[in-house]
Structure 1
Amino acid sequence: MIHVVGIGLDGAEGLTRSVLALIAEAKMLAGGDRHLGYFPQYGEKSLVIKNFSADLNKIKQIHQTLGSGEIIVVLASGDPLYFGLGRLLLEKFSAVQLKFHPHVSSIQLAFNCLKMPWQDATIISAHGRANDLLKQALQKGAEKLAILTDGQNHPGAIANLCLSLGLTTTYQAWVCENLGAENERIQPFDLSSLAPLTAGNFASLNVVVLVKQKPENNPIDPKQLPIFGIADHYFASFKDRPGMITKQAIRVQILAALALRPRQIIWDIGAGTGSVAIESARLCPQGKIFAIEKTSAGQQLIEQNCQRFQVENVALVAGPAPEFLSDLPTPDRIFIGGNGGQLMPILQACGERLQRDGLVVMAIASLEHLSLALGWFKQQQWQVKVQQVQISQSVKFAELTRFDPLNPIYLLTAARNSMGHS
């Protein structure tokens, strides 16, 4: 039998009597340098595991020579089956040859030190791995994350990744070092103060915990904002779909295509979070913007964002298009960001109501909707131009930077007469 014993930074003191008895009778004691350092008395009976493949083969060879009742003990960090040595042992030995004795994992220790329930946490190992899973979890807006780090994917690198993704939410970070040892240290950070730090600023054994912060409902000081192109994180967004916002890089293209002028009436159909409507309102303070949104979640976000940005010239139209368009003032500009499966009726209603020299701008994600829209405008003999907007943004991965693409869109601009004025 091979007994796989989880051990913490408190060493032998943290093990039960029964586990210590197993170690005492072991034919061989195997583990990392740190693990074996707790049992210096074993001398030649110990095997330091450095090269996993070669050293596990040595354990297998010794295992084959064991007599009846003789055992091998392998020491591993925390819970051996939790991102640990247990997986490799199960590949090398049959399950009946192994018995596991788990210790408290570093993740358990981290959340208990923070006095924070963790049954809802997303656990990710960045130890010796690419950061793709972490990036996906952050983009999906995970409420609570615990990350096992390494020398490359250290706490500062993780903070840099968070900041480079342009998230619509922010996270409070804690770096938990040497958990369970006498020199244990827990430090809170905001991401901007954590990002400049290097691996050398922390003990090699650390866990990073990230907890999503609730967006502040306080109004935003207009002096903090650019005139044009507001960063996504300023907008309150959908909790379950934080990435479902017209991204800043795409939004500025839409606003340019709308060619806004003072005192215009603007419809934003399928307004979502209201980001395009609010940017339009700030650019045209004497105009009037109607944000048409059928979902209750979107309606709440539009109202919340209008309060945050202190815009008073956005009117929420709580209902679906085209039904709720008939009573609105005649528009000079129409932006269609979402159509709720009613693309053709919406285009028909827009064509009937738009000012003679007005513009329709559409952000289209699918070829099918692009084809339908082009067919309708061609039938109506409108002037149309289409841009494919495909943008990639730099994202930090450990010490490196690579480009991460946003979903491409087709930006369609249509008018009844010549496009020269736009």
Structure 2
Amino acid sequence: MTINIIGIGLDGLAGLSESVRQVVKRGNLLVGNSRNLGYFSHETIPKLLLNDLVETLSELKQWLTNWERNYQTNPEVIFLVSGDPLLFDIGGVLAAQFPPDQLIFHPHISSMQLAFNRLQIPWEDARLITLNNQSVDSLTQALKDGVTKIGIFTSVDYPPQAIAQLILSLDLPRVYQFWVAENLGGENERVQPYPVDRINNYQFSPLNLVILLPDLPEVINEVNLANIPSLGIPDNLFFGNTNEPELSTPRELRILALGELGLQPNQVIWDMQASPGSVSVEMARLFPNSTIYAIEKTASGTSLIEQNCRRFQIKNVISINGEVPAILHHLRTPDRIFMGNSDNNLPEILGTCSIRLSPGGRIVVVLRTLEHLNLALEWVKYKIQSEKSWNYHLLQVQISRSFSIGNLTKFAPVNPVTILTIEHQSLFN
């Protein structure tokens, strides 16, 4: 017995080589969905309609048993699939059901391959996802991670509109171009971008897929300040560090960190590892008479801070490009210190901060790993043993945001962190 798994596109017979057509002609049974079988309606070969895969495989095995009983010869089965049988298709199921020596694959160009070629964009680094109930979380994580190229095989339950709804609900720092490719390889082929926030105004062919590509930041230096809340600016209004979005400080975490800082007017504040500047912007808007030093070691991060300050018309943030703790000795004495990310030299940084901090000051550190948490706790406990005027407390933060996809509402977790607040006890005297 031989099962030939033949990939076929919307161009039908025209897209098959002569050798593959000859394979079909000598077949004893054609298996496929109604569209693929329709390309061979002129053939007199018996046909098995593929609806439910489990039922079809059961019928196929029964057919094979009957054939061998009646003819006692090895039949050739032709299994028609779309595109590449081993790319999110039935080829993998057949490979698990039948011995390798009984299977021969004849791949056609896949719809995803064709879509990227239509866009003239390399796709070896693309994240490919077949969207169903099990893979929604995979897409959500890819979007949160800022994956630069995402190819999505849509489904009836998860059409382009559902994907756009998910993107909008996640309030992402990265802006994506939203491409929909329809009827690839067919007469009614269409590949074009659509505005994510107006996707419900469009109708798409059932045969479609979605490609998400990185978009250039909007060339807008300012936003309409009248429409922005006093606290908790939406993440998508910031030019973000899309290379490492997991290191940015999301809106909910900013609100909690600002509360832990206990800011007051006319203070000097250090914001360390400050890119893309979202915390500095929030502090500067709340206390325009305070001075915030936004310290960042990378040139690209410093540029993002300055872009966001211009965008929100901030005048009281001073962007500092330099390494901590060395650069800290050149800055004005702080009343408050915020550290949004932690380095392995955290004890050294905290040591410098504690020396430079004004009496009654406060340090707030966001710790994203157990290792950094342990480093910080070791340092602060030693500090308290040697200087009784210090105290600390921890806030463990686990936040999830709801989002809708299709008719479902799910929760997407924001990376869990621990907020360490270190304070001088004279603050309360």
* TM-score when normalising by structure 1: 0.90
C-alpha separation in 1, matches of 2:46 and 2:187: 28
**CA pair 397-378 structure 1, distance change in 2 beyond 3 A:** farther
C-alpha separation in 2, matches of 1:97 and 1:322: 66
Residue 40 of structure 2 is matched in structure 1 by 39
**CA pair 67-27 structure 1, distance change in 2 beyond 3 A:** farther
**CA pair 8-378 structure 1, distance change in 2 beyond 3 A:** same
User: For residues 367-398 of structure 1, what are the alpha-carbon distances to aligned partners after superposition, in whole Å with 9 as ceiling and x for unaligned?
Assistant: 41452354145333324343333221112343
**CA pair 88-167 structure 1, distance change in 2 beyond 3 A:** same
In the alignment, residue 94 of structure 1 is paired with which amino acid?
P
Residue 279 of structure 1 is matched in structure 2 by 282
Aligned: 1:407 with 2:415? yes
Residue 198 of structure 2 is matched in structure 1 by 193
- Contact in 1 for aligned 2:359/2:426 (Cα 8 Å): no
Residue 92 of structure 1 is matched in structure 2 by 97
Residue 307 of structure 1 is matched in structure 2 by 310
C-alpha separation in 2, matches of 1:298 and 1:206: 38
Aligned: 1:378 with 2:380? no
- Please report how far the alpha carbon of residue 25 of structure 1 lies from its aligned counterpart in structure 2 after TM superposition: 2.4
Spell out the pairing of 1:224-263 with structure 2 (5 A cutoff). 224-263=227-266
What is the aligned length? 418
* TM-score when normalising by structure 2: 0.88
**CA pair 91-387 structure 1, distance change in 2 beyond 3 A:** closer
**CA pair 110-343 structure 1, distance change in 2 beyond 3 A:** closer
Residue 222 of structure 2 is matched in structure 1 by 220
Aligned: 1:390 with 2:393? no
**CA pair 311-175 structure 1, distance change in 2 beyond 3 A:** same
The one of 413, 417, 421 aligned to 2:425? 417
What is the DSSP-based 3-state SS (H/G/I as helix, E as strand, rest coil) of the residue aligned with 2:252? helix
C-alpha separation in 2, matches of 1:211 and 1:314: 33
- Please report how far the alpha carbon of residue 68 of structure 1 lies from its aligned counterpart in structure 2 after TM superposition: 5.7
C-alpha separation in 2, matches of 1:183 and 1:33: 19
- Please report how far the alpha carbon of residue 168 of structure 1 lies from its aligned counterpart in structure 2 after TM superposition: 0.8
Residue 318 of structure 1 is matched in structure 2 by 321
User: For residues 230-274 of structure 1, what are the alpha-carbon distances to aligned partners after superposition, in whole Å with 9 as ceiling and x for unaligned?
Assistant: 222222333431232011100011122223233211111232322
**CA pair 74-375 structure 1, distance change in 2 beyond 3 A:** same
In the alignment, residue 313 of structure 1 is paired with which amino acid?
N
- Contact in 2 for aligned 1:268/1:276 (Cα 8 Å): yes
Residue 165 of structure 2 is matched in structure 1 by 160
**Worse overlay, 247-256 or 93-102:** 93-102
C-alpha separation in 2, matches of 1:417 and 1:211: 51
The one of 277, 282, 288 aligned to 2:291? 288
C-alpha separation in 1, matches of 2:379 and 2:397: 17
In the alignment, residue 180 of structure 1 is paired with which amino acid?
G
What is the DSSP-based 3-state SS (H/G/I as helix, E as strand, rest coil) of the residue aligned with 1:255? helix
User: For residues 25-71 of structure 1, what are the alpha-carbon distances to aligned partners after superposition, in whole Å with 9 as ceiling and x for unaligned?
Assistant: 22111111221122223467111122323322433454462666752
Aligned: 1:150 with 2:155? yes
Residue 131 of structure 1 is matched in structure 2 by 136
Residue 374 of structure 2 is matched in structure 1 by 368
Determine what percentage of the aligned residue pairs are the same residue: 41
**Worse overlay, 207-216 or 108-117:** 108-117
C-alpha separation in 2, matches of 1:407 and 1:151: 31
- Please report how far the alpha carbon of residue 286 of structure 1 lies from its aligned counterpart in structure 2 after TM superposition: 2.1
- Please report how far the alpha carbon of residue 400 of structure 1 lies from its aligned counterpart in structure 2 after TM superposition: 0.8
C-alpha separation in 2, matches of 1:352 and 1:222: 41
C-alpha separation in 1, matches of 2:132 and 2:391: 55
Residue 169 of structure 1 is matched in structure 2 by 174
- Contact in 2 for aligned 1:321/1:339 (Cα 8 Å): no
**CA pair 197-419 structure 1, distance change in 2 beyond 3 A:** farther
Residue 354 of structure 1 is matched in structure 2 by 357
User: For residues 199-228 of structure 1, what are the alpha-carbon distances to aligned partners after superposition, in whole Å with 9 as ceiling and x for unaligned?
Assistant: xx3322111111121223531224253322
In the alignment, structure 1 segments of 5+ residues that lack a partner are: none
- Please report how far the alpha carbon of residue 291 of structure 1 lies from its aligned counterpart in structure 2 after TM superposition: 1.7
C-alpha separation in 1, matches of 2:103 and 2:348: 66
- Contact in 2 for aligned 1:383/1:418 (Cα 8 Å): no
User: For residues 146-176 of structure 1, what are the alpha-carbon distances to aligned partners after superposition, in whole Å with 9 as ceiling and x for unaligned?
Assistant: 1101111111111111122221111111222
In the alignment, residue 204 of structure 1 is paired with which amino acid?
P
**CA pair 348-24 structure 1, distance change in 2 beyond 3 A:** closer
Aligned: 1:17 with 2:25? no
Residue 184 of structure 1 is matched in structure 2 by 189
Residue 344 of structure 2 is matched in structure 1 by 341
- Please report how far the alpha carbon of residue 418 of structure 1 lies from its aligned counterpart in structure 2 after TM superposition: 5.7
In the alignment, structure 2 segments of 5+ residues that lack a partner are: none
- Please report how far the alpha carbon of residue 75 of structure 1 lies from its aligned counterpart in structure 2 after TM superposition: 0.9
**Worse overlay, 172-181 or 121-130:** 121-130
User: For residues 65-123 of structure 1, what are the alpha-carbon distances to aligned partners after superposition, in whole Å with 9 as ceiling and x for unaligned?
Assistant: 26667522111111111111211211122222222222221112222333434333222
